[in-house]
Amino acid sequence: MMNTWSREIWRLLGYAAGGWLLGLVYGLPLWGLCAGLLGHSLWNLLNLRRLDRWLLAKPKEPPAEAKGVWGRVQRHLFTQRRRQRERSRKMRTLLRGIRETSAAVPDGVVILGQFGRIVWQNKAAAGLLGLKRRKDVGRSIAHLVRDPDFTHYLKKPERYEEGVEINSPRDDAVRLSIRLVPYGEGQRLLLIRDVTRLHRLEALRKDFVANVSHELRTPLTVVLGYLETLVDFGSELSAEQLDDLHRRLQNQSARMQRIVDDLLMLSRIEGQQSKGSNDVVDMPAVISAAVEDARSLSGERQHRIEAEVDAGLFLLGEEQQLRSVVSNLLGNAVRYTPAGGTITVRWYASGKSAHLSVQDNGDGIPAKSLPRLTERFYRVDTARSRHTGGTGLGLAIVKHALNFHHARLHVDSRVGEGSLFRCDFPKSIVHHTDDAQTDAAQKVTEELPD
């Protein structure tokens, strides 16, 4: 550094001395000195102009070597500029990265500046809160989201950590969980999450607990009533009356047991993980056993039960669940078909998939009830269901078991004409035995004697 500056001083002295000496030759040493100093100033001005032009041109290349201290300044400025450019390039890349990541997250993110004005928002936030991505930037969030709970929350920084739940301003059916995180000076980060599913599950759980309690309370109250009668008047009752009371107690206890068994079955299916490769289930045998059970359930009501079964068609799956599907569908057909009615079970392959259908010519189901059939404890006619020993859980079990096997349930029914329940099993779980009869559907028709 000292070298450059001392050279610069020598240059100034050189110009002054040169001018003075030249002036001396012409007998005007003072004028010569002034001319020398003017020359030095002109040289500096020239270099300043060159630097100014070079700066204006926003150079990306290093400067052409200028002389003396000007060269130093130029190099210095160039290095600083290069560093600054590098820094802003890194910042831009970082910002782009942050924007792309925030845009990709399914949760909504809004940056709020002073007075709750929107500085930036990602796509999800705009979708969830019904905001316009560009137009609403700069507007206050309090004016855009007018839910009273949210407005109240916005004004209470001490509650920011708790968060708040509101319905989406865009769609009432969408439930949002919102949290504000303060940062910097007066800035806040608004995080929005769609919790509709969780909310619905929570509501379902509450409903379910209420339903189970209700379902169990009814038979329990009846059992308690009968027991009180037994305790208070047991000695006064005739043998016949006692028999009747015992039978009623047994019926109610059996009803409670059926509910608990079905609940356990449901929770077992829900807890089971679909492993992909399950056991080979002999569906023809499962159907044959279920037909036997249906026959004994039918008893004196003498339904005509027919089965058309492809004897070589097996499934890869959970036997207990599949048994439950067949027996629930057949049991319902028997229970909701008047005495003497016809029930047909078919087990067949079509294309590469397999189908189980249970058809009856019984009560049928009103169209408005069809979408709700597989809900837990849903019944078209509660009294009828209870009277026939129903728990209201049969079709919920069927649905869950079918979901487990990636299968679908199709219901077709008309009041007074009958119902058709068909399960469509995907080709991925269909298993044909090596049996020669594999392709030929073996027709087995079984009938109950009239």
Binding site for ligand ADP (CB under 6 A): 328, 332-333, 336, 360, 362-363, 365, 373, 378-381, 385, 390-396, 419
* Element at 280 (helix H, strand E): strand 279-281
Cβ burial 254-277 (10 Å sphere, 16+ → b, else e): ebbebbeebbebbeebeeeeeeee
Question: Least separation, in Å, of the C-beta of 387 and ligand ADP?
Answer: 10
Question: Least separation, in Å, of the C-beta of 343 and ligand ADP?
Answer: 9
Question: Least separation, in Å, of the C-beta of 377 and ligand ADP?
Answer: 8
Question: Least separation, in Å, of the C-beta of 317 and ligand ADP?
Answer: 21
Closest CA to 246 of 232, 264, 229, 265: 229
Question: Least separation, in Å, of the C-beta of 425 and ligand ADP?
Answer: 20
Give me the residues paired with residue 348 across strands: 355
Residue type, 282: D
* CA gap 131, 31 in Å, rounded: 77
Question: Least separation, in Å, of the C-beta of 367 and ligand ADP?
Answer: 12
* CA gap 242, 235 in Å, rounded: 10
Residue type, 314: F
* Nearer to ligand ADP among residue 193 and residue 346 (C-beta): 346
* Nearer to ligand ADP among residue 282 and residue 360 (C-beta): 360
Residue written as token pair 């059970």: 293
3-state secondary structure of 111: strand
* Nearer to ligand ADP among residue 118 and residue 380 (C-beta): 380
- 447 close to 305: Cβ distance less than 8 angstroms: yes
Token reading at 56: 């204006």
* Nearer to ligand ADP among residue 178 and residue 365 (C-beta): 365
Closest CA to 157 of 129, 186, 137: 186
CB neighbour list of residue 300: distance below 8 Å, 6 or more residues apart? 339
* Nearer to ligand ADP among residue 188 and residue 400 (C-beta): 400
> What is the full DSSP assignment across 327-395?
HHHHHHHHHTS-TT-EEEEEEEEETTEEEEEEEE-SS---GGGGGGTTSTT--SSHHHHHHTT--S-HH
Question: Least separation, in Å, of the C-beta of 326 and ligand ADP?
Answer: 13
Token reading at 344: 């047909």
CA atoms within 13 A on the CB side of 237: 17
Question: Least separation, in Å, of the C-beta of 416 and ligand ADP?
Answer: 11
Backbone angles phi, psi at 122, to 5 degrees: -90, 175
* CA gap 427, 352 in Å, rounded: 5
Closest CA to 14 of 30, 47, 45, 37: 37
* Nearer to ligand ADP among residue 253 and residue 433 (C-beta): 253
Question: Least separation, in Å, of the C-beta of 321 and ligand ADP?
Answer: 15
* Nearer to ligand ADP among residue 84 and residue 213 (C-beta): 213
Question: Least separation, in Å, of the C-beta of 216 and ligand ADP?
Answer: 15
* Nearer to ligand ADP among residue 188 and residue 379 (C-beta): 379
* Nearer to ligand ADP among residue 121 and residue 332 (C-beta): 332
* Nearer to ligand ADP among residue 67 and residue 384 (C-beta): 384
Cβ burial 81-102 (10 Å sphere, 16+ → b, else e): eeeeeeeeeeeeeeeeeeeeeb
